[in-house]
A and B are shown apart, each in its own frame.
Chain A
Amino acid sequence: MPIDKIFKDDANEEKGERARMASFIGAMAVADLVKSTLGPKGMDKILQSTGRGHSVTVTNDGATILKSLHIDNPAAKVLVDISKVQDDEVGDGTTSVVVLAGELLREAEKLVTSKIHPMTIIAGYRMAAECARDALLKRVMDNKEDAEKFRSDLMKIAMTTLCSKILSQDKEHFAEMAVDAVFRLKGSTNLEAIQIIKKPGGSLRDSFLDEGFILDKKIGIGQPKRIENAKILVANTAMDTDKVKIYGARVRVDSMTKVAEIEGAEKEKMKDKVNKILAHGINCFVNRQLIYNFPEELFADAGVLAIEHADFEGIERLGLVTGGEIASTFDNPESVKLGHCKLIEEIMIGEDKLIHFSGVAMGQACSIVLRGASHHVLDEAERSLHDALCVLSQTVNDSRVLLGGGWPEMVMAKEVDELARKTAGKKSHAIEAFSRALVAIPTTIADNAGLDSAELVAQLRAEHHNQGCNAGIDVISGAVGDMEERGIYEAFKVKQAVLLSATEAAEMILRVDEIITCAPRRREDRM
């Protein structure tokens, strides 16, 4: 009896063991791919895009690497997805989460081959994750009360985050910058207020944090280059030809003179608008849209600095910084809130001219100017700094911190091991496996640094047998050391997110016993 095929032509179906193998292998391949970037001595990857120009990215950031991969394996996609979420949610730990999930699956694979049902493994993993989290909670430190200490905690976290990145040479400098910038936000997590400007040239060390606001624009010709006590009107309005917005309106004339008349009227209208804007008593006008030559000339005549074509974010940020509102109509000058700043001037960074607003009313926003040898360096520096900023801003809200350098993993592994001993039944194998997966992270860190991982991890484990031990792997000296003394700190929120999402992802992949791939959608062939 021929069994008709149920699926469409190109669709295929993998069942049971084969499906599980396929997802394990896919997930582990992805984890192994980013594994070598973990830790302070992790290596970078070069990514070449398939798009036009074959642009090249050099990075160490797990989320960026995974985002640019073209992956066909569905299980691997799950891992890519968790790393992306980790990036969105806490900003750092994007590599760790994938590596941990990969290790969990690697352990699970061993268990499955020794005939333990996936559901049992999941139950064990869940218990273990819960226990690990409690272990971390017991050991967290919270210095929110003490401003001085809190700041030094933040500094240490920033330095730990940055030391695995390209900025590690100048990590103190950048950590200082990041902490300053985040403190200015005063607890908000809106990182948009921190502007990062990249200018090639100079060295990374020349990067600086600017208290004010820097707009990457030029000042119009013939307009003042320096304004003190500036009153700024931030606007979003058309300053080219002001279109009539009534639907279906069009100009139809029958003689040349009339054309001239209407042109005149148009000009008059623009002039009116400019006059209205000027009536606000401003000396700086920033518009999101283009400013045509004619109004620009009018502004120059009035001695007003006019800046055109600032992008949307720039406008919003400027509004935020100077405290002005973004205006689109100009009929009531008395009630529009203007922005203020002490000084507007043109500054030179490298070869480019930028406009610098200093002494702004609201101190929330700031700009970080990154300098570096090439675009690749700058891009990577921006990503690293972004990671640090994300972590810091999250830590400001949730001020619990942990030690770094594989310390949290060892603490969790110890507790989980203890749980395994207490648990009866097959689940204990899974719990044990969970602790092995946790230990894999310090192992990888040591391996990546070219150290003898087996020796170090064994030492570490012995150290951790003592209550309240602060030992971790110090990659710089290549030995086990006290993490508190070395000042290696991590944010609790990051670690927790890594732990929970990795377990969740592993669980999800483990539960699958069948993969059905639909026929790929046919692209329409254009002849």
Chain B
Amino acid sequence: MALAFDEFGRPFIILREQDQKTRLRGIDAQKANIAAGKAVARILRSSLGPKGMDKMLQGPDGDVTITNDGATILEQMDVDNQIAKLMVELSRSQDYEIGDGTTGVVVMAGALLEQAERQLDRGIHPIRIAEGYEMASRVAVEHLERISQKFEFDVNNYEPLVQTCMTTLSSKIVNRCKRSLAEIAVKAVLAVADLERKDVNLDLIKIEGKVGGNLEDTELIYGILVDKDMSHPQMPKQIEDAHIAILTCPFEPPKPKTKHKVDIDTVEKFETLRKQEQQYFDEMVQKCKDVGATLVICQWGFDDEANHLLMHRNLPAVRWVGGVELELIAIATGGRIVPRFQELTSEKLGKAGMVREKSFGTTKERMLYIEHCANSKAVTIFIRGGNKMMIEETKRSIHDALCVARNLIRNKSIVYGGGAAEIACSLAVDAAADKYPGVEQYAIRAFAEALDSVPMALAENSGLQPIETLSAVKSQQLKENIPFYGIDCNDVGTNDMREQNVFETLIGKQQQILLATQVVKMILKIDDVISNSEY
């Protein structure tokens, strides 16, 4: 208890304002934490795999999100429990690092916690369990490395990449046209990839969505799409061979940053000021014109007068373009962002083969396509779909697919999906357990059992008999010593994941196991929870 007595029997206070805090200690704390972690994992469990269900989330403002993506579900779930927050964090870090497998990592952690609880009941000390998990995870990661396969592809033969992306997309609502979306994702990644350095800057891939049309209309644009239109309704809607001036200064009279006042006290001053003002606009437009720009893209707004002058001098312009988009345009067109009119030179102009405005549907929404850029390193994926939620979900799915493709370019190793890798690891860990003397052995076995829970959940979600299927696959793997057998989620009739073309990236899997183990270790080490009670 939070109350202690000194040698004279007088109580003294260790925890301030103890009546306002709640406190859980020892085994109770661990049990409570494990229960919370398991509860979160249980929510996600049914979303795992190609036949996983979606969750509908209603946000604080009544907005609705329907998704299957673990990271998104947890992020929007609005959890209050500390341990549950840790799980949310866990899936988020998987999302940042790998981008895919966000559901799997939470399910894995949940299973580890469940096993840990059983070991705790046996009287094994939590630290020993944690250590055992640590050892087991090392074994599993090494084993993954061993069973992984290099897989070959290059820019011309990207079929294997498409297959892998399709595995990722098959668990999402977009699986109706996963083939075309996977191709789009792979082409996009290849377009921006630096194959020499084996790196992909995903910032160069912009994902835009617009409600309307079908999912099939989703397209990849080798260029930039800006959700803006020309500043003046009568400017040309199509510019070929555009030279683009990218400006971050407004077409307005300059505003010096220092405080100042211009006092007008005579008619002459008034007149000169007026002249000056007109001159400003004239000069600005002339400058752009002089360097040979045929399109002006500006981060800020235009004055009405400047707008007309631009139009008048036949210089189309786009205003209020966001900073990120501006940067992308600069990268794509090979131009430089110019902060001042004085610094505008013809070398700093970006070049694009075609700039055009396109309108959609019956509403007056228009978008600006910038295509055939000098430097085609920036691409845009333009998503169409039946409704807003569909588009948001497609965006998330494409993001996952992009991450997978990127990971493959970084590291060409793959393991087989459909639970095959987990089952193989589970076998390896189980075998390794016997070599460890001491209590950790039990923890290691528990780890092996926890690994089984991912294929188990897959089987469950696919409507198969979980225990039967799992044991059948496990014995098959052991008998033939081939780590490619997994759960046949799509009811194709074969357990061989090579034939089904279900891959996952090696680093993704490894990361899942490592992250889940880490979090579980952290949770197991907590033996005291002090929280402010609400009132």
Residues of A within 8 A of B56 (CB): 19, 23, 74-75, 512, 514-516
Contact between B274 and A269, CB atoms less than 8 A apart: yes
Contact between A190 and B364, CB atoms less than 8 A apart: yes
CB-nearest residue of chain B to A251: B264
Residues of B within 8 A of A505 (CB): 386-387
Contact between B53 and A514, CB atoms less than 8 A apart: yes
Which residues of A246-275 are within 8 A (CB) of B?
A: 246-254, 258, 261-262, 264-266, 269
CB-nearest residue of chain B to A246: B253
Residues of B within 8 A of A254 (CB): 265
B147 adjacent to chain A (CB < 8 Å): no
Q: Could you tell me the distance in whole angstroms from the C-beta of A265 to the nearest C-beta in chain B?
A: 5
In the complex the two chains form, what is the Cα distance from A501 to B213 in whole Å? 9
CB-nearest residue of chain B to A236: B304
Contact between B304 and A319, CB atoms less than 8 A apart: no
In the complex the two chains form, what is the Cα distance from A141 to B95 in whole Å? 50
Q: Could you tell me the distance in whole angstroms from the C-beta of B41 to the nearest C-beta in chain A?
A: 11
Contact between A265 and B267, CB atoms less than 8 A apart: yes
Q: Could you tell me the distance in whole angstroms from the C-beta of A87 to the nearest C-beta in chain B?
A: 8
In the complex the two chains form, what is the Cα distance from A264 to B60 in whole Å? 59
Residues of A within 8 A of B304 (CB): 236-238, 328
Q: B157-165, B183-191, B306-314, B341-349: which one contacts chain A?
A: B306-314
In the complex the two chains form, what is the Cα distance from A261 to B267 in whole Å? 6
Encode B122-138 as 1/0 by CB contact (under 8 A) with A. Answer: 00000000000000000
CB-nearest residue of chain B to A72: B62
Query: Given that A88-B362, A88-B363, A508-B390 are contacting pairs, would A119 and B271 also be in contact in the complex, using a CB cutoff of 8 Å?
Result: no
Complex partner residue of A189 from B77, B265, B362, CB under 8 angstroms: B362
Encode B49-77 as 1/0 by CB contact (under 8 A) with A. Answer: 00101111111111010101000010011
Residues of A within 8 A of B388 (CB): 81, 85
Complex partner residue of A262 from B270, B281, B303, CB under 8 angstroms: B270
B478 adjacent to chain A (CB < 8 Å): no
Complex partner residue of B54 from A246, A253, A513, CB under 8 angstroms: A513
A82 adjacent to chain B (CB < 8 Å): yes
Q: B30-38, B495-503, B519-527: which one contacts chain A?
A: B30-38
B142 adjacent to chain A (CB < 8 Å): no
Contact between A8 and B273, CB atoms less than 8 A apart: no
Q: Could you tell me the distance in whole angstroms from the C-beta of A273 to the nearest C-beta in chain B?
A: 11
In the complex the two chains form, what is the Cα distance from A261 to B43 in whole Å? 78
B533 adjacent to chain A (CB < 8 Å): no
Encode B17-49 as 1/0 by CB contact (under 8 A) with A. Answer: 000000000001001100110011001001000
A500 adjacent to chain B (CB < 8 Å): yes
B480 adjacent to chain A (CB < 8 Å): no
B277 adjacent to chain A (CB < 8 Å): yes
A1 adjacent to chain B (CB < 8 Å): yes
Query: Given that A262-B264, A332-B312 are contacting pairs, would A515 and B32 also be in contact in the complex, using a CB cutoff of 8 Å?
Result: no
In the complex the two chains form, what is the Cα distance from A374 to B142 in whole Å? 79
In the complex the two chains form, what is the Cα distance from A82 to B233 in whole Å? 30
Which residues of A186-233 are within 8 A (CB) of B?
A: 189-192
In the complex the two chains form, what is the Cα distance from A385 to B463 in whole Å? 50
Query: Given that A4-B35, A237-B304, A508-B389 are contacting pairs, would A190 and B267 also be in contact in the complex, using a CB cutoff of 8 Å?
Result: no
Complex partner residue of A319 from B76, B78, B233, B266, CB under 8 angstroms: B233
In the complex the two chains form, what is the Cα distance from A505 to B303 in whole Å? 44
A8, A248, A501, A515 interface centre (most CB from chain B within 10 Å): A248
CB-nearest residue of chain B to A2: B32
Query: Given that A74-B58, A248-B262, A518-B76 are contacting pairs, would A4 and B32 also be in contact in the complex, using a CB cutoff of 8 Å?
Result: yes
B10 adjacent to chain A (CB < 8 Å): no
Residues of B within 8 A of A320 (CB): 233
Query: Given that A1-B35, A126-B176, A319-B234 are contacting pairs, would A512 and B390 also be in contact in the complex, using a CB cutoff of 8 Å?
Result: no
B211 adjacent to chain A (CB < 8 Å): yes
B98 adjacent to chain A (CB < 8 Å): no
Q: Could you tell me the distance in whole angstroms from the C-beta of A91 to the nearest C-beta in chain B?
A: 5
Query: Given that A4-B32, A7-B79 are contacting pairs, would A265 and B270 also be in contact in the complex, using a CB cutoff of 8 Å?
Result: yes
Complex partner residue of A7 from B60, B77, B359, CB under 8 angstroms: B77
Query: Given that A6-B80, A88-B362, A244-B274 are contacting pairs, would A516 and B252 also be in contact in the complex, using a CB cutoff of 8 Å?
Result: no
Residues of B within 8 A of A250 (CB): 261-264
In the complex the two chains form, what is the Cα distance from A66 to B531 in whole Å? 45
A78 adjacent to chain B (CB < 8 Å): yes
In the complex the two chains form, what is the Cα distance from A508 to B39 in whole Å? 25
Encode A497-527 as 1/0 by CB contact (under 8 A) with B. Answer: 0001100110110011111111111000000
Q: Could you tell me the distance in whole angstroms from the C-beta of A507 to the nearest C-beta in chain B?
A: 7
Residues of B within 8 A of A332 (CB): 312
In the complex the two chains form, what is the Cα distance from A11 to B81 in whole Å? 13
B197 adjacent to chain A (CB < 8 Å): no
CB-nearest residue of chain A to B281: A329
Residues of A within 8 A of B77 (CB): 7, 11, 516, 518
Residues of A within 8 A of B80 (CB): 5-9
Complex partner residue of A85 from B84, B211, B311, CB under 8 angstroms: B211
A82, A326, A327, A329 interface centre (most CB from chain B within 10 Å): A329
Contact between B40 and A190, CB atoms less than 8 A apart: no
A466 adjacent to chain B (CB < 8 Å): no
A91, A190, A336, A514 interface centre (most CB from chain B within 10 Å): A514
A482 adjacent to chain B (CB < 8 Å): no
B9 adjacent to chain A (CB < 8 Å): no
Residues of B within 8 A of A191 (CB): 362, 364
Contact between B264 and A508, CB atoms less than 8 A apart: no
Complex partner residue of B60 from A81, A85, A189, A520, CB under 8 angstroms: A520
Which residues of B256-280 are within 8 A (CB) of A?
A: 256, 259-267, 270-271, 273-274, 276-278, 280
A54 adjacent to chain B (CB < 8 Å): no
B11 adjacent to chain A (CB < 8 Å): no
Contact between B387 and A6, CB atoms less than 8 A apart: no
Query: Given that A247-B253, A254-B265, A514-B56 are contacting pairs, would A117 and B362 also be in contact in the complex, using a CB cutoff of 8 Å?
Result: no
Q: Could you tell me the distance in whole angstroms from the C-beta of A445 to the nearest C-beta in chain B?
A: 24
A310 adjacent to chain B (CB < 8 Å): no
Residues of B within 8 A of A359 (CB): none
CB-nearest residue of chain A to B311: A325
B305 adjacent to chain A (CB < 8 Å): yes
In the complex the two chains form, what is the Cα distance from A193 to B183 in whole Å? 40
A291 adjacent to chain B (CB < 8 Å): no
Q: Could you tell me the distance in whole angstroms from the C-beta of A39 to the nearest C-beta in chain B?
A: 22
Residues of B within 8 A of A2 (CB): 32
A9, A77, A508, A516 interface centre (most CB from chain B within 10 Å): A516
Q: Could you tell me the distance in whole angstroms from the C-beta of A139 to the nearest C-beta in chain B?
A: 20
In the complex the two chains form, what is the Cα distance from A425 to B171 in whole Å? 22
A398 adjacent to chain B (CB < 8 Å): no
Residues of A within 8 A of B252 (CB): 245
In the complex the two chains form, what is the Cα distance from A6 to B80 in whole Å? 6
In the complex the two chains form, what is the Cα distance from A82 to B212 in whole Å? 9
Contact between A245 and B303, CB atoms less than 8 A apart: yes
B46, B60, B277, B307 interface centre (most CB from chain A within 10 Å): B60
Between A and B, 11 residue pairs with Cβ closer than 8 Å are A8-B79, A77-B64, A190-B364, A246-B253, A249-B264, A262-B270, A316-B233, A326-B311, A393-B362, A514-B46, A516-B76
User: A residues within 8 Å of B by Cβ?
Assistant: 1-9, 11, 13, 19, 23, 72, 74-75, 77-78, 81-82, 85, 87-91, 117-119, 126, 189-192, 236-238, 244-254, 258, 261-262, 264-266, 269, 316, 319-320, 325-329, 331-332, 335-336, 390, 393-394, 500-501, 504-505, 507-508, 511-521
Starting from the known contacts A518-B58, A520-B60, 20 additional A-B residue pairs (CB-CB under 8 Å) come to: A6-B80, A7-B80, A72-B62, A88-B212, A88-B361, A89-B211, A191-B364, A246-B262, A249-B262, A250-B262, A262-B267, A262-B270, A329-B305, A329-B309, A331-B278, A508-B66, A511-B54, A513-B55, A516-B77, A519-B78
User: B residues within 8 Å of A by Cβ?
Assistant: 28, 31-32, 35-36, 39-40, 43, 46, 51, 53-62, 64, 66, 68, 73, 76-81, 84, 173, 176, 211-215, 232-234, 252-256, 259-267, 270-271, 273-274, 276-278, 280-281, 303-305, 307-309, 311-312, 359, 361-364, 385-390, 463
The 3 closest A-B pairs by CB, nearest first: A328-B308, A513-B53, A521-B60
